[in-house]
Structure 1
Amino acid sequence: MLPVEERLRLVTRRQTVPEDEGLFVKLLSEKEKPNITWPHVGYFVPLAKMVDFLRAGLDVTILILDVYGFLVNYKHPMELVAHRREYYRLLATAILQSLGVQPGQVKFVIESTKVYTKDFMVDLQRLCALMTQQDARDTCDEIASTTMLSPMLCCVHQTLSEEYLAMDIQFGGEDQDGLFAHARKFLPLLGYRQRLHVMNTMVAGLDGLKMSSSKPADTKIEFLDDPDTVRRKVQHASCPPRQLAENGVMGLLEDVLLPISELRLERGRGQTGLNVDEGRGVTQRPFITEDAPEDAVFSVSAGEAKWLHFASYEELKRAYVGGAIDPQPLKDAVADAFNQLLAPIRQIYQESKEWQDVDRAAYPDE
């Protein structure tokens, strides 16, 4: 059995935790497999975090928010939202597989299978009767200025999902902080227990600024980008010499590539916690050269067949700020690592007629 302290470390590493840490210790001590649910799909960083949750022995669920998606994107018909729901399920399954997660280890739940029951609708009405419009607007920037009613119901749905999916912990990005605060405030007023929350940092785009689904395509790497597109995007990414501010390349290293490379290194050492099946049938090395030291997680060319090897992001950061690494070889290494990371996802897509058909139905104009 993994010690509670190690389970807590796996759950919370590289995360923001708004509640008292002692509440997590209590939960992990009293419950063998606490349920953690993530109500969003489509980003690499939180999907990679599922590996840690499984290592910690959590019961992991991904909630696909089709009703929420319709409410917040009210211009799209429900039929299109249904296609996108299926697209994201297939995408998340492929990404998890590429990360060494075995089929069936993460459950998928479709929101619309839970929210049309009589009990849920009664609780929705009860919660609406407790809230002001400002309570809804305070949950996130997206809702703050809306003139439509449907987006203001999103916080109601997400708060009630904690009870109706029997969550112990809800996982999300730091941009979900207002929604989590809403749940902490209102669930007890409905007579339900308060849940815990874990938040991942928001990844910067290739321009070094905050990532957003509404930003231009060239400011982010898409899961199905071909190798040449990945290289082109990384080559045009913000990477000022010796600077970390608004440095999209260093941001991707810190938030995406180095954490995944560390997971691979740990797996190679047998450090997979309670998930003994992690990586079964998959051989994946960290993003390093063949002659790298055994503790290295990233390699960058130093020219003339020489390489610099780093055991952590902190080491790499010091070298970059100190001028030991130039932007161009760093970009080359990042592009190569991303293409290695995305290759199995591309292959699954290319071999799946179902996914290709769903893609065309979900995004007919792209």
Structure 2
Amino acid sequence: MDDYELATRNTVEVVTEEELRSVLSQETKRVYAGYEPSGEIHLGHLVTINKLMDLRDAGFDVVVLLADLHAYLNRKGTMEEVGELADYNRRCFEAVGLTGVEFVLGSEFQLSPDYQLDVLRLSQKISLKRATRSMDEVGRQMDNPMVSQMVYPIMQMVDIAHLKVDAAAGGIDQRKIHMLARENLPTIGVKAPLCIHTPILNGLDGKKMSSSQKNYISVADSEEVITKKMKKAFCPPEIEENPVLQVLKYHVFPRAGTVTMQRPEKFGGNREFTSYEEMEGAYAAGDIHPADLKAAVAGGLIEVLEGAREYMNANRPE
């Protein structure tokens, strides 16, 4: 797989592909993704983490922004609370293989006079309506937004400028903010960033993945918990919006070359698959029972996350 294929696999959009090819040709290139500190790093986060590892392997210098100030502005907790979570999340990122990258805590540079002046400069160029609309997918309690949440997207734009990155990576829910950055950063003398967007996956119940609903698998979950959660997962006969197939496509196959489905001989015996497309086709054709699919995906995910469990156990705070 060449660098372009690595950079684009399992994405839903690259803005623009021509810009990506140009950036890939540069001797040095930087990409960043920002994460609000949260209690658990789960399969939703792992989609962009996997993409950052792809981009690292494609030659990018990767910057991970632990966005403590953004979390605070988005009503996710006190600065002390989100600061503690930022440290925990960093260990989670390293545990799943995101190593050899630069971790930056937002509050370490976002309170500087130069940064804040750029925030103010851009705030003069963006209407309240545009700022509100850009937060539709990422804001908390947006039926009654706070002024702090209108500062959030402007800061995200200034992050791109001050981290001096060529590209911004994130879920497709970040698209409106990224497009705002492409439109407005050139007005303060900063090149519009290349934007790489990954899909938003369903929770295990087929609904929106949510920490409050506990419909996710954490990277720190035990083998027993992963097996139990996957066994209960929603797995319709359809391909589209099937959360079990999404785990297979975006988490298991990118990190494990093959998946072995184990079943009794009377049900067809064991079968090995070497690509997601092959396994999806077999499921669509009715050659794989949902229970067998879930068991195979659980086994593949346990294998993929083995290193994370070992790392987290060995690096627990005293």
Give the TM-score normalised by the residue count of structure 1: 0.79
- Give the match for residue 232 of structure 1: 228
**Paired residue for 2:101, among 106, 116, 119?**
106
The aligned amino acid for 1:300 is M
The aligned amino acid for 2:72 is F
The aligned amino acid for 1:66 is D
Asked if residue 11 in structure 1 is aligned to residue 12 in structure 2, the reply is no
The aligned amino acid for 2:232 is H
- 2:253 alignment partner, SS class: helix
- Give the match for residue 273 of structure 1: none
- Give the match for residue 300 of structure 2: 337
The aligned amino acid for 1:239 is C
- Give the match for residue 157 of structure 1: 155
Asked if residue 146 in structure 1 is aligned to residue 141 in structure 2, the reply is no
**Paired residue for 1:23, among 13, 16, 19?**
19
- The answer (yes or no) to whether the contact 1:40–1:172 under 8 Å persists in 2 is no
- The answer (yes or no) to whether the contact 1:258–1:312 under 8 Å persists in 2 is yes
**Using the alignment, how far apart are the partners of 1:226 and 1:13 within structure 2?**
28
**Using the alignment, how far apart are the partners of 1:246 and 1:49 within structure 2?**
20
RMSD: 1.9
- The answer (yes or no) to whether the contact 2:33–2:169 under 8 Å persists in 1 is yes
- Give the match for residue 363 of structure 1: none
**Using the alignment, how far apart are the partners of 1:14 and 1:170 within structure 2?**
16
Paired-residue identity, %: 28
- Give the match for residue 285 of structure 1: none
**Using the alignment, how far apart are the partners of 1:338 and 1:220 within structure 2?**
13
- Give the match for residue 257 of structure 1: 252
- Give the match for residue 264 of structure 2: 303
CA-CA distance at 1:246 after TM superposition: 4.2
Provide, for residues 41-84 of structure 1, a one-character-per-residue CA deviation record: whole Å limited to 9, x for no partner: 7311221222321221111111110110110025x211111101
The aligned amino acid for 2:314 is E
**Using the alignment, how far apart are the partners of 1:311 and 1:346 within structure 2?**
25
Q: How does 1:347-362 map to 2 (within 5 A)?
A: 347-354=310-317
CA-CA distance at 1:180 after TM superposition: 0.4
CA-CA distance at 1:177 after TM superposition: 0.4
Asked if residue 136 in structure 1 is aligned to residue 113 in structure 2, the reply is no
Asked if residue 315 in structure 1 is aligned to residue 278 in structure 2, the reply is yes
Question: Please, which runs of 5 or more residues in structure 2 have no aligned partner?
Answer: none
- Give the match for residue 45 of structure 1: 47
Q: Which runs of 4+ in 1 moved over 6 A?
A: none
**Using the alignment, how far apart are the partners of 2:176 and 2:299 within structure 1?**
37
CA-CA distance at 1:18 after TM superposition: 4.2
CA-CA distance at 1:211 after TM superposition: 2.4
- Give the match for residue 79 of structure 2: 78
Provide, for residues 307-366 of structure 1, a one-character-per-residue CA deviation record: whole Å limited to 9, x for no partner: 112221111111111111111122111222222222222222222232xx5xxxxxxxxx
**How many residue pairs get matched?**
306
**Using the alignment, how far apart are the partners of 2:245 and 2:316 within structure 1?**
36
- Give the match for residue 179 of structure 2: 181
